Amino acid sequence: MKKTLSLLFALTGWFAIITQYVLMIRNSEFSFWETTIRFFSYFTILTNIIVAVYFTVQTFKKSSNEKSGILTAITVYISIVGLIYQFLLRSTWNPSGMQKLVDELLHSVIPLLVLIYWYWYENKNNLKYGSILKWAIYPVLYLGYILIRGSFSGFYPYPFVDVPSFGLTKVLINALWITAFFFILSLVFIKIGKLTGKS
């Protein structure tokens, strides 16, 4: 059952990512390379790629042993994708057709699938609060990347990190709030894991 779900989730993830890329290339007014760079500048895309790779590995992995915390970290990342989209970004545009389908897969369906998989299969007994600092490396590096590239390209993938619109101070404050949200969400997942204690 675990491998079947992993395969299903991997296929869903790759379908959504590849289709989103094709749609973005088709509708972009920028060059192929600039559009590609922008595509890989979205936290949503990068995190969904991490999810798709994870489930692909799980599909073909022979051993069921896995270091506790890897899936929890991924679940925190994709949960942030889903929650920020639902509460901050959903109202900013109204996609239709295939774009709407892909949008819902990337921001709603896949986060929910990962959450369910985490609940069923994560080795929660060994989750450690100290792991949160390691988990934070990815989003911190991502923030640094988009701010540095944005400073000379003028492209910021999300409105709350748009330095020209809000100024660097406001953007850093927004980033601080999101960082705090990340730590709180991580603490919640670990706490739930320790309470359920399900291997």
Look up tokens 């900013």; give the residue. 92
Q: What is the mean pLDDT of residues 127-147?
A: 95
| Residue 40 main-chain phi, psi, to 5 deg | -85, 10
| Range name among 8-22, 52-66, 70-84, 125-139 with the lowest pLDDT average | 52-66
CB 44 within 8 A of CB 107: yes
Inform me whether the pLDDT recorded for 118 exceeds 70: yes
**Per-residue pLDDT tens digits for 47-97:** 999 999 999 999 988 776 667 789 999 999 999 999 999 999 988 888 999
CB 68 within 8 A of CB 124: yes
The Cα 135–Cα 182 span in angstroms is: 9
The Cα 120–Cα 122 span in angstroms is: 6
Nearest to 69 by CA among 131, 115, 121, 119: 131
